[in-house]
Amino acid sequence: MLKSNNIDLTSKSAIFFSKLCHIAYISGFPNLWITDLNFPEKFQKYQYYIFRTIDVILYLFIVSQWTATLTQHNLSQKQISDNLLFSYAQPSLLAYRLVLNYHQAKIKEVFFIVVVKLKDLDTDKELEAKFIKKTTTLSLMLLSMGASSLIFFGFQGILTKGAKFVTVITVWPDVNDTRTVAYIGRIVIYILWWLVIMNVTASYNAVLTLMLTLEYQFKYLGTYFRNLELIFEEDMCQKEKEMKYLERVKLGIKLHSVILRCAQLIQDSCSNVYGIHILLNISVLVSVMFQMIYTGRSLDGLLSTVATGSAMLLSTGYFMWCAGDVTVEASCLATNMYSSGWQNCGANASRVRQLLTLAMMKAQEPFQITILGIFTVSYQAFLSIVKSSYTIFTMLY
């Protein structure tokens, strides 16, 4: 763990990352930041045990859903469908954080690279502000999507005529139990469900933040190379301009290699989450389509079903969108290198051209986020996922 007084953490990006890591920590993640977090010592001491206890409770909650069919014999068609959906979806969603926890050392290294090794790129304040705004907006949208699904299911449990506020089917209480203790149990179950979704939302935000970070590092580097042409407008002799330009080009090439290292770390950390999410997306969409056909057509039931399907579609869309943006920004880098002002060099022109040619050849290598080295995450992949879900549905139907 680094000491905060050894490195400069005063940039807006560093402060933003620090805040995100603080939020992740109080959401149950380990410390993902490159320095110690400024939490009270007692809280840090007991944080691990508190959240591991919550994890055990949530896992027992999921097991209770798996075994609900052993005790619940009066379920409606929609309740059976919901129970099947939640039984495989929620364990998959909770696996996100387990994957990210396993790769916490790589995530810390990503933050170290961005804040320390790539600090020379973090000079475009306008881009920095856009990065922070985009990350914050997507995080809030993900949070609202998860909350909307839960709220619609809650409204369905309250407003459905003759219903007993049954949101998630568990071993106990029985769906027809009208005792006060049963209602209290259902409220506790609903709260546990909120904890599951908030846990998942925190994991989503971690993955999206890493992807957006990578996207904007390529943006920063592109801006860095384009701004090199301004060196030749400075008030110094031609030789000094060329030497300064050459040194900056070398630094840019070095930073590119550092970004590629950062990209590999992010891919290693997030590819399994992407894989789980894509498989889950297909299965949930198929289940939602079956629900809309075979379950009741009441407005409250329709709202909860549509909210679930929309949340899954939009979250997958955000994943694919961010990964696709990374590919687009990486593909623009060679053009930005070419536009760096090399034509203004005189005596060092040949040396600069050779250096930039090699750098552009490296930058032109297609960069894409892949899952297990097979499936490419991109804009087109999102459409393929939706089509695959519908194809599977039509085959089964």
Residue-level pLDDT at 297: 57
Domain count, the chain: 1
Three-state SS at 48: helix
Dist. CA 138–CA 319, nearest whole Å:
10
- Residue 258: which pLDDT band, with cuts at 50, 70 and 90? very high
- Distance between terminal CA atoms of the chain? 55
Name the nearest CA neighbour of 320 among 271, 263, 382: 382
Is 394's pLDDT higher than 80?
Answer: no
Question: Residue 2: phi, psi to the nearest 5?
Answer: -80, 150
**Nearest in space to 262 (alpha carbons), one of 198, 329, 211, 204:** 211
pLDDT tens per residue across span 151-189: 877 877 776 655 577 788 899 888 888 889 998 999 999
Mind listing the pLDDT tens digit for each residue in 290-325?
A: 777 765 556 656 776 777 778 788 888 888 888 889
Q: Rounded CA gap, 40 and 286, in Å? A: 47
> Phi/psi of residue 7, each to 5°?
-135, 160
Residue with tokens 């329709």: 302
| Average pLDDT estimate for 187-197 | 91
Residue-number span of the structural domain to which 200 is assigned = 4-396
> Any bridge partners for residue 375, and if so which?
371
Predicted confidence at residue 296, as pLDDT, reads: 56
Task: Work out the average pLDDT over 275-294.
Answer: 81
pLDDT at position 308 is 77
Q: Letter for the amino acid at 246?
A: L
Mean of pLDDT over the chain: 85
Quick check: pTM over 0.85? yes
User: Residues 137-142: what's their mean pLDDT?
Assistant: 89
Least confident of 103-112, 168-177, 260-269: 168-177
| pLDDT higher than 90, residue 253 | yes
Contacts of 314 (CB under 8 A, 6+ apart): 141, 145
Report, as an integer, the average pLDDT of 25-52. Answer: 88
- pLDDT at site 162: 56
Burial status of residue 337 (CB atoms within 10 A of its CB: 0-12, 13-18, 19 or more): buried
